[in-house]
Amino acid sequence: MKPIQKEITITGKDNPVVRHYRKLRDQKKIRQDEKLFVIEGLRIVRDALQYPYLVKQVFVTETAWVRHAGIMDFALREPVQMIHITDNIGELMTDTEHTQGVFAVCRVPEPKSVPELLSPDGKYLVLCQIQDPGNLGMILRTCDALGVDAVFTTGCCERYSPKVIRATMGSVFRVPVADMPNALNLLTTLRECGIRSYAAVLSDKAKSLKECRPGCGCAVWIGNEGNGLPESISNNCEYHVRIPMQGGAESLNAAMAAGILTWEMMNCQE
């Protein structure tokens, strides 16, 4: 374990450390090139500090230092750099309307390969071309709550953007996720590992979730908010499943649909 770095204090808004944080907050390319991302808020920073090897820096405003002394004491025991900032600098760094004055820079964890994440009786969710950050974050949070073994994303919005991170409410640190560049290759890999794929589609030909319940050794595929799953994907899945609906709505929000399907999958013992 690395030794704890000394605390430092920053009072100037043009300090390069502050500018770097704001670049990471605002620019996807910087996040991807440096394999770093930012988080904001007392709760998510507390969650991140459970994995100190992922946390590079913690920023705390003058007001937050007094108000949240407990988390600051905890942070000082970890191998992270503690940075004191003024309340004014906190206002420059925030991505929310009312900041809590607690921020951090985190390292993107090393990705695991697909075979490392798969087991014959595992339960998985595959997200294909999800573009709304709130949906992606909410789905990851739901997967964390329900105990999904792993999530695979293909063609989705950036997982480490501030909006996605905020919507996960800390689940980003707990859910195993693998980003896959090619959905058809992922389908093939799942099949080779004995994992059956269930395509969630809006089709009368699909079996109702009441009749066709995915369980152990399954992966449920969720498609784009507006267009659903590409036919090239759904046509190659072993099963097609739909959520039965009795009202007037034609479809459900992607995060809501993922929640229902995941709940059924995690509660099926077959």
pLDDT of the residue at 238? 94
- Tokens encoding 11: 């009072």
| Sign of the torsion angle spanned by Cα atoms 202, 207, 209, 214 | negative
Question: If we measure between CA atoms, which residue out of 104, 107, 93, 103 comes closest to residue 36?
Answer: 107
Q: What is the DSSP letter of 16?
A: H
Domain boundaries, the chain: 8-107, 114-266
pLDDT of the residue at 105? 97
pLDDT of the residue at 11? 87
CA–CA separation, 103 vs 90, rounded Å?
A: 8
Domain 114-266 has CATH 3.40.1280.10: yes
pLDDT of the residue at 247? 73
Contacts of 256 (CB under 8 A, 6+ apart): none
**Superfamily of domain covering 8-107:** Ribosomal protein L30/S12 (3.30.1330.30)
CA–CA separation, 236 vs 239, rounded Å?
A: 9
Task: Please report, in tens digits, the pLDDT of each residue of the chain (270 residues total).
Answer: 344 445 788 988 899 999 999 999 999 999 999 999 999 999 999 899 888 789 999 999 999 988 877 666 655 556 788 899 999 999 999 999 899 999 999 999 998 888 899 999 999 999 999 999 999 999 999 999 999 999 999 999 999 999 999 999 999 999 999 999 999 999 999 999 999 999 999 887 889 888 887 889 999 999 999 899 999 999 999 999 998 887 777 778 899 999 999 999 998 876
pLDDT of the residue at 2? 42
pLDDT of the residue at 76? 58
Question: If we measure between CA atoms, which residue out of 116, 259, 113, 236 comes closest to residue 183?
Answer: 236
CB distance 63 to 101 below 8 Å: yes
How many C-beta atoms lie closer than 10 Å to residue 250's C-beta? 7
Cα–Cα distances in angstroms (integers) from residue 64 to residues 46, 60, 67, 234, in the given order: 13, 6, 5, 49
Question: If we measure between CA atoms, which residue out of 241, 129, 128, 233 comes closest to residue 191?
Answer: 233
Q: Determine the longest span between alpha carbons in the chain, in angstroms.
A: 63
pLDDT of the residue at 195? 96
pLDDT of the residue at 38? 98
Contacts of 209 (CB under 8 A, 6+ apart): 241, 242, 243, 244, 260, 261, 264
pLDDT of the residue at 215? 86
pLDDT of the residue at 6? 52
H-helix segments, 82-210? 87-93, 114-117, 133-146, 162-168, 183-192
CA–CA separation, 89 vs 182, rounded Å?
A: 42
pLDDT of the residue at 1? 35
